Amino acid sequence: MRFRTRAFLLCFIPFALLLAGSFWATQKLVQTTVQDGLRSSLRENQLSIARLRSRTDLQNSRFLRVVGENAALKAGLQLLQSNPTSPSAKETVEDQLRELCVQMGFDYLAVSDPEGTALAAVIRTDAGVTPLSPLPERSTQRGLTMQGDTVYQIASVPIDQAEENIAELSVGERFNLSEFNTPAVLLGEGKVLKSSIPGIPLSEIETALKACHSQDECDVRLGGQGYMSLPLQISFGDGYAVRSLQNVDAASGPVQSVLNRLFLSASIGVILVALLFSVLSSQNIVEPITAMISHLQRSESTGLLPEFTGDLSPIREIRELTSSFNRAAGAIREARQSLQRAYLEFVGSLASALDARDRYTSGHSGRVSELSCATAMALGVSGDELNDIRIGALLHDIGKIGISDIVLQKPGKLTAEEFAIVKQHPEIGRRILEGVQGFAAYLPAVELHHENWDGTGYPRGESGETTPLAARIIHVSDAYDAMTTDRPYRDGMTHDEAIAILRRFAGSQFDPRVVDAFVKIAAGFESPDRKGLRALEYAIAGKT
C-alpha cells in the first residue's frame, strides 16, 4: 500500500469519526439545552400559577365569608337542622343555594353539617341550576371533586350563628385545564381524568405516566414524540394532581432540522473527497487485491490453494503477501497429499484386517467395493459421491470386528440368538467410525447396508428411498458376493443363480433400480474370481 493511500486512510477515518461524534454530541447538547430551557420555563410557570392562586384564594376567602353571612341561607339551614327529614326544609335550602349560584355565577354550591355530612347541594348544568341528587356521603370542603364527568374546584367557609358553627358552605367552579399556558393533565387516584393535549387518547397518556412518580420530573413518549412532564406544586386535595407536559421534540425540532441540513452538507463534501481519493488509490491497491480474489475464487472448483505467478502489484506489502501465500499453499498441498495417502492406506488396512479373520470371506470387502462402484457409475454417480461409495463399501462390514470369532466362523447354520448377534455389526461399525474425524460420509453405508426396500431390514427398518443410495447399492453388491462365495456350510452359487435371486427379491429386499443397474454391469461376469474382477475393474475405469 502506497503512502498516498495510507495517508488518506489516516486522515479520512479520524475525520469521519470526529464528524460523526460531533454530530452526535451536538444533538445531545441541543436536546439537553432545550430540556433545561423547558424545565426552567415550566417551573417558572408553576410558580406564577401558584402565586396567582394564592392571591385568588385570599380574595375568594374574603368573598366567601360575605356569602356565608347570608341571613336567608342561615335561616333555611336552621329550619333544615330542626327538621332534617322535612322535604320542604331541604327545598328551602336548595332554593337559597340556587339563588346564590345564579347571582354569584357559581357552578357548584353545597352545605354540610359541622361533621361534614352533606345536607343539600346544587350544580349548574346546561338546563340551569338544579339540585344535586343523590348527595355524596361526605361534602368536599377543599380541593377538587368530581360529579359525573365534571370536575369542580372547591373552597369552603364556615357558617356561624351566634358564634356557633352550624354548617359549612362549599363553593365550586368548573376546573379547566385551559387556564394553564402549557399542556397539562389531571389525575385522580393515578387515572387520567382530563387532558389538554389534543389528539392523544387518555389511555395512552395514563400508560405513559405510570412510569412517573408523583413528585418527580420524568420523560415520556406520546404519539411517537418525546414529552417532559413535571408535577404542579399545588395541592388539589387527596388523590388529585396536575402534571404539565411539554413536547421536547417539537421544541427542539427547528434546531435539529438546521443541524441536519448543516451536517448533511458536510457529509456530502466528505463523501466527495473520499470518492476522489478512492479513485486515485484504486489503481495501486484495488486492482491487485481484485486479481488475488479472482485467483482464489477459481480454487473453489479444485479445493486447492493456488500459487500466484508474476508480480501482482508494485506495492511491497502485497508482494510479500503473495509470496507468503505461495509458500503456505505449497506446504498445504504436500500435507494434503500425505494425508490422502495415509488415509487410503488406513482404509485398506482396516478392510484387510477384517477379511483376514476368515479365509472364506478373504477379499470380500474389495469385491463389494468394486461391484458397488461399477453399479453407482451405471446409475450416473460420479465425483465425491462415487468415492464415498467406494470407501463406504470397503468399510461396510467393519463392525464385524466386534463380533466373536465363535459366531462368525461357525461351520454350521447360525441359531436365532447367534444371528441376532451378527445383526449388531452395522451399529457396531457406526460406533467405531463416528469417532474418527473425516469418516462421517461413510456412516450411512456402514450402518444401513442391510436395510430392505420394503422396510423389513435392520437396524432401523427404513424403507424405499429413505435409505441412502450408497447403502442400497452396497446391499445388492454385498448380497451378490455373499451368494457366489463358498462358505463352510454351503458352496457358492453360480452367477446366474445369484442374479435370479436378486431379480426375484427386487422390490421387496432390494431397490429395483439398483438391481437393474447391477445386472447390466454384471452381464458376462460369471464368477468373482481374479479374471472376473479384472474385467470389472476395466469396466469401472471406463475401458470397456
Residue 450, pLDDT above cutoff 80: yes
Which residues touch 477 (CB under 8 Å, ≥6 apart)?
367, 368, 371, 372, 375, 393, 518
What local confidence, expressed as pLDDT, does residue 373 receive?
A: 93
Domains of the chain as residue ranges with CATH: 1-56+176-283 (3.30.450), 69-175 (3.30.450.20), 357-541 (1.10.3210.10)
Question: What's the pLDDT band for 184 if we cut at 50, 70, 90?
Answer: confident
Burial of 431 (0-12, 13-18, 19+ CB in 10 A): middle
Instruction: Say how far apart CA 217 and CA 388 lie, in whole Å.
Output: 72
DSSP string, 46-57: HHHHHHHHHHHH
Average pLDDT of the chain?
77
Average pLDDT over residues 337-345: 69
Lowest mean pLDDT among 202-216, 316-330, 493-507: 316-330
Residue 191, pLDDT above cutoff 50: yes
Residue 290, pLDDT above cutoff 90: no
**pLDDT tens across 385-436, in order?**
998 999 899 888 888 888 887 887 777 788 889 889 889 989 998 988 887 7
Lowest mean pLDDT among 183-192, 396-405, 529-538: 529-538
DSSP string, 199-251: T--HHHHHHHHTTS-TTS-EEEEETTEEEEEEE-SS--STTEEEEEEEEHHHH
Percent of the chain with pLDDT over 90: 14
Amino acid identity of residue 28, one-letter, is K
Phi and psi torsions of 174, nearest 5°: -65, 135
Say which residue, 158 or 538, is predicted with more confidence.
158
**pLDDT tens across 12-37, in order?**
676 667 767 776 777 677 667 766 77
Question: What's the pLDDT band for 338 if we cut at 50, 70, 90?
Answer: confident
27 with 258: CB under 8 angstroms?
A: no
**pLDDT tens across 302-320, in order?**
556 666 666 656 666 677 7
**pLDDT tens across 80-130, in order?**
888 878 888 888 888 888 888 888 888 888 888 888 888 888 898 888 888
**pLDDT tens across 46-92, in order?**
666 655 555 555 445 566 666 767 777 778 888 888 887 888 888 88
Residue 464, pLDDT above cutoff 90: yes
What local confidence, expressed as pLDDT, does residue 516 receive?
A: 93
Enumerate the β-bridge partners of residue 240. 188
